[in-house]
Chains A and B, each alone.
Chain A
Amino acid sequence: MSIVAVQGVSKDYMLGKTVVPALRDVTLEIGRGEFLSIAGPSGSGKTTLLNLIGCVDTPTTGVVQVDGKDTSRLSERQLTDLRLRTIGFIFQSFNLVQVLSVFQNVEFPLLLQGGLSRRDREARVMGLLEAVGIASHARHRPSELSGGQRQRVAVARALVTAPSLVLADEPTANLDSATGENIIDLMKEMNARDGTTFVFSTHDPKVMAHASAVIRIADGRIVAREAGRGAAAEAAR
């Protein structure tokens, strides 16, 4: 069973009195454990598609199912709960809480979930910080970290609740290529280790090369779904 099923989804935005279609009749399935890239130029609808899959936005028409749940049938509260328990987010600008330490940023989703003891939380957070190689900065604030380090924290925060699905919107866009590569490697490692599904948007061919599959999108439509190797070959050409 797929973790995400998008069926006939369109999304329009209003720009003043003008209707701007961001997505047009998109249908897509994402299997569990995939490491999938959504690729396309700026304005092609990558972020809109991720927002719909991430339940932070609603489609104008069509159905988005996440983990078997039709998101249009869920209340605001249930959608928030679905995001908390099923989905992890990694943002282009990291979006860490500036007033919390690295440890607290990663711990925060666990606190929202509740249920774990302090010791269990600490073990899980420190385990992830070790895994992303930032454990020595646990007490630092985000402002004291480099971009690459911040994104590592964001990866740890996205994974701390052991979600089925991690959505990353241009996770390497604000990083230099070496750091970006590291972050993708890290995500891939987590994907391989835990079987977590990763869906990330990018327009960087080097990043796409790592994906097990690439969804190409242009003008709000899916134009191709390619296997990862093919994408890598294309990037190489």
Chain B
Amino acid sequence: MIGVDLQIAARNLTRHTRRNLFLGGALAAVTALLVLLSSLTGGVERAMMVSATTLLTGHVNVGGFFKITSGSAAPIVSEYPRALDTVRALVPEIDYVAVRGRGWAKAVSESSSMDLVLGGVEVAQERGFAKVIRPVEGRLEDLAQPDTVLLFQGQADRLKVKVGDVVTLSAPTTRGVNNTADVRVAVIARNVGLLSAFSAFIQGDTLRRLYGLAPTATGALHLYLKDPADAPAVASRLRAALAEAGWRVMEPESQPYWIKLMQKVPSEDWTGQKLDVTTWEDEMGQFKQFILGLRALTALLVFVLMVVVVIGILNTLAIAIRERTREIGTLRAIGMQRRKVLWLFVLETALLGLGGAAAGAAIASGIALLLNLAGIGVPEGMQLFLMQERLSFLLQPGAILADVLFLAGVTVVAALLPARRAARLRPVTAMHHIG
């Protein structure tokens, strides 16, 4: 029976080609928009997860601030080996830990200068680097040598340096004086969105020397978990455990460390060391908001367009039912139950919905693949948010299928009311309908 039902539905659709093509086309356009925007959001989110959690933050960070006076603050964890022991004992979910120095400095070359956010790294610990950082000159391993720096292409171009050249870093120490270090450019890497415009990496001990820090001090422990979804639970557990182990631990607050460093911490009345346990989402708060905003915008656009499509479906079905009233009457007379009439109209709309949505998804996927291949550049102002220099769409079959099913589902729901009206037509009225 289902075969005949499908045939009736499909043939009725093809009987009014122009009308149904128009409606299916509108649905395809909405689906295409949804798939494109979702895959763009997916691409941004992926870039954020991969790039930002490698360059800026771990899945969970044990950072902190050291205050010599209540009005000053430095992003330092003194005695980090002790904190690291506690962390390792308490977090079996850890995949690996990177000890990361935090600072900022003015980089001066022979012909230019610029401000840089510095990460002090032990490159052997930074397992994620190889996935994100693509050297165009030099080798990542060379960053293990003292007095070396990794610059991104944009920075190297601006400073007009290449591998082997020397750059002078000038940074304010916790004692209130500026210190300098001459570092050799060991690696120049491909840009990774706007993050790479201001982030650079130097060897960990070199950063300590620049800031006059003890070997047991660092900026933060970046914890990379086997499953990043565990981050909130791990952070919460660590706060309690570190406090119990005698550390002073800051209250959780979803802000990146540099905002706390600039605004909150210097205004607080305390001195000495406090630890601050954050997740990657805390550190990337603005980016997450951007993603949410993008998703909300997508939802709003799709909602508005779907209202138009639903009105189209209601109109089309009203016309179809009017045209086929006699047929409905006949079928009811020869013994078709009401629910079967309803089913036939719903099936017809479902076919139209699935066809339109699938076509839209296919078109959008094709466009996204072509745009990925074309590698269209993202305007500089957008790079910070999109975390990518080139437009990148993440096509996830599961998500696309969900979009298609969702939109086809909306069309089916929209069809229920007119289909019910058709099903409730009295056979005698329907059979003698003229028109």
- A contact residues vs B (CB 8 Å cutoff): 51, 54, 56-57, 76-77, 80-81, 83-85, 88-89, 91, 93, 95, 97-100, 104, 107-109, 111-114, 157, 161
Once the chains are docked, how many angstroms separate the CA of A80 from the CA of B333? 7
Task: Report the separation of the CA atoms of residues A148 and B327 in the bound assembly, to the nearest whole angstrom.
Answer: 19
Inter-chain contact B337/A80, CB cutoff 8 Å: yes
Residues of B within 8 A of A88 (CB): 334
A112 with B7, Cβ < 8 A, contacts A91-B330, A95-B330 known? no
Using known A-B contacts A100-B7, A104-B4, A111-B4, determine if residue A95 contacts B337 with beta carbons closer than 8 Å. no
A83 to B334: give the CA distance in the assembly, Å.
Answer: 6
| Residues of B close to A99: CB separation below 8 A | 7-8, 11-12, 15
Which one of B7, B340, B428 lies within 8 Å of A104 (CB-CB)? B7
Q: Which residues of A contact B333 (CB under 8 A)?
A: 54, 56, 83, 89
Q: CA–CA, A81 to B431, complex, Å?
A: 18
Contacts of A93 in B (CB 8 A): 326
Hey, which bits of chain B sit against chain A, CB under 8 A?
1, 4, 7-8, 11-12, 15, 326-327, 329-338, 340, 426-428, 431
- By beta carbon, the residue of chain A nearest B12 is A99
Q: Is the CB of A95 within 8 A of B4?
A: no
The answer on a CB contact under 8 Å between A112 and B335 is yes
Q: Show 23 residue pairs from A and B whose CB-CB distance is below 8 angstroms, ordered by the A residue.
A: A51-B428, A56-B329, A56-B333, A56-B426, A56-B427, A57-B427, A57-B428, A77-B337, A77-B338, A80-B337, A81-B337, A83-B333, A91-B330, A91-B431, A95-B329, A98-B15, A108-B4, A108-B334, A109-B335, A111-B1, A111-B4, A113-B335, A157-B334
Determine the distance from Cα of A109 to Cα of B334 in the docked complex, in whole angstroms: 7
Question: A95–B335 contact, CB under 8 A?
Answer: no
Residues of B within 8 A of A81 (CB): 335, 337
Closest to B10 in A: A99
- A112 near B336 (CB under 8 angstroms)? yes
- The interface centre, meaning the residue of A56, A109, A157 with most chain B CB atoms within 10 A of its CB, is A56
Residue pair A95, B336 in contact (C-beta under 8 Å) = no
Q: For residue B13, which residue of chain A has the nearest CB?
A: A99
Chain A residues, CB < 8 A from B330: 89, 91, 95, 97
- Please pick, from B1, B11, B12, B327, the residue contacting A95 in the complex, using a CB distance under 8 A: B327
Bound Cα distance A108, B330 (Å): 12
Shortest C-beta distance, B422 to chain A (Å), equals 15
CA distance A108 to B335 in the complex (A): 10
User: Using Cβ atoms and an 8 Å threshold, which residues of chain A touch B8?
Assistant: 97, 99-100
Closest residue of B by beta carbon distance from A82? B335
Interface centre among B333, B335, B427 (most CB of A within 10 A): B335
User: For A85, A88, A93, A111, which residue has the most chain B Cβ atoms within 10 angstroms?
Assistant: A111
| Contact A97:B428 (CB < 8 A) given known A109-B334, A111-B1 | no
Report B325 CB to chain A, min CB distance, Å: 11
CB distance from A149 to the nearest CB of B (A): 18
Q: Is B15 a contact partner of A112 (Cβ separation < 8 A)? A: no
Complex contact A97–B327 (CB within 8 A) = yes
Specify which of B326, B331, B333 lies most central, judged by the most chain A CB atoms within 10 Å of its CB.
B333
> Which of chain A's residues have a CB closer than 8 A to the CB of B4?
100, 104, 107-108, 111
CA distance A85 to B428 in the complex (A): 18
Known: A56-B428, A95-B326. A85 touches B334 (CB 8 A): no
CB distance from B407 to the nearest CB of A (A): 26
- Is the pair A56, B431 in contact by a Cβ cutoff of 8 Å? yes
A157 — which chain B residues lie within 8 A by C-beta?
334
**What is the CB-to-nearest-CB distance from B425 to chain A, in angstroms, rounded to a whole number?**
11
Task: Output the nearest chain B residue to A110 by Cβ-Cβ distance.
Answer: B1
Q: Are B334 and A112 in contact (CB under 8 A)?
A: yes
B421 to chain A, nearest CB (A): 15
**Closest residue on chain A to residue B424 by CB atoms:** A76
- Please tell me which one of the listed residues A80, A100, A108, A113 contacts residue B332 in the complex, with CB atoms under 8 A apart: A80
Closest chain A CB from B309 CB (angstroms): 25
Q: Which residues of B contact A51 (CB under 8 A)?
A: 428
7 tightest Cβ-Cβ pairs between the two chains A and B:
A84-B335, A99-B11, A95-B330, A56-B427, A57-B428, A56-B428, A111-B1
